[in-house]
Amino acid sequence: MINHIRTLLFNQSASSFGQHRILYHRTSPSLQYLLGEQYVPPDFKPVTVSSQLEPVYYTLLSPTAPRLQRNYVVGSLMDILHTADLEKYVFRHDPRVTYIPGDIRYRYMFDSDVRVSRYGTYDCQMQYTKMGDWTHLPLVGDMFTWSISPSKGRVSITDYTGRTMVGDLRFNLASISSKVSLIPGFLDIYFKAPAGVIDTTSDKFLLGVANVEPFDIGALVSRLQFELGRSPRTAQFLFAGKSPYEKDMEVFKSLWDSYPDTVYQLAGLTLALGYKLDECR
């Protein structure tokens, strides 16, 4: 199957890919890369995730995860597999892929106009005065358009589908802040004026925007360790290989159990999950 491991991890039908592509890509073909969309074989049917695999699979991908989040998480997992010297295991079932390993354009879905960064990176400057004047700078990017209206006390963001999200500006003597949740529980964007930047003589401040990397490997590995720790049956099932992949599964289990690097730990678990999903087809 083309894009074998990625297709299994993504676990969405080919028809959903076709509908999504037609809906959003007809006028802007390049948007496919920003959305993280990749080819799904037309005969692929989503796998029913077994109860033994649910604690692992749903820790990686919530059953209610929107398509944008699903593409981002699976894209991040595939990046790890292709850059951790484990690529041969990705190609074990089928070496055919339609994507370029290491192509991170899908990350531009956030980087284009709100840079993915730890809190403290400010990407814009705006000016506010007591009279309510504002340097109105709606920033139009590939994925989001955002603007701020202090007179209404709001930050608004419109995404690529036309959906608008609003956050309230909160003012106090030291700072101004707001948060807008683009994907609840996955991606929040913070607008904030850091303490000490307000000039009391001219009533001006700088307002910046930052968001936290939505894919935290360390935190994800900790959650997976917790899930497997409380479900030994899941851990045993996950790494139990069938012919001819028993040796591969031993490698994956060794990476998860013993390797000191969380990237390789996650890679081992992800490959084991992909192989088990293949068994469930």
Q: Which residue has the tokens 């935190």?
A: 219
**CB distance 147 to 136 below 8 Å:** yes
Per-residue pLDDT, 189: 66
Full strand arrangement of the beta sheet holding 187-193:
170-171, 176-183, 187-193, 208-211
pLDDT tens string, the chain, 281 residues long: the values are: 999 999 999 999 877 655 554 444 444 555 555 567 788 888 899 999 999 999 999 999 988 887 778 888 999 999 999 988 899 999 999 999 988 887 776 665 554 343 322 223 333 344 333 333 333 344 455 566 666 665 566 777 777 677 787 877 676 655 667 777 767 666 666 666 555 544 444 444 445 555 555 678 998 999 999 999 998 899 999 999 899 999 999 999 999 999 999 999 999 999 999 999 999 99
Question: 210 by DSSP, 3-state: which?
Answer: strand
Per-residue pLDDT, 156: 75
Per-residue pLDDT, 98: 86
Per-residue pLDDT, 175: 63
Per-residue pLDDT, 220: 93
C-alpha 230/C-alpha 88 separation (Å) is 31
Per-residue pLDDT, 254: 97
Segment 49-53 long-range contacts (CB within 8 Å, at least 24 positions apart):
49/11, 49/277, 49/280, 50/237, 50/276, 50/280, 52/233, 52/234, 52/237, 52/238, 53/234, 53/237, 53/238, 53/273, 53/276, 53/277, 53/280
E strands, the chain, are: 139-140, 144-149, 154-159, 164-168, 170-171, 176-183, 187-193, 208-211
Per-residue pLDDT, 135: 39
Per-residue pLDDT, 245: 95
Per-residue pLDDT, 216: 84
Per-residue pLDDT, 30: 53
**265 membership: H or E segment, kind and range:** helix 262-279
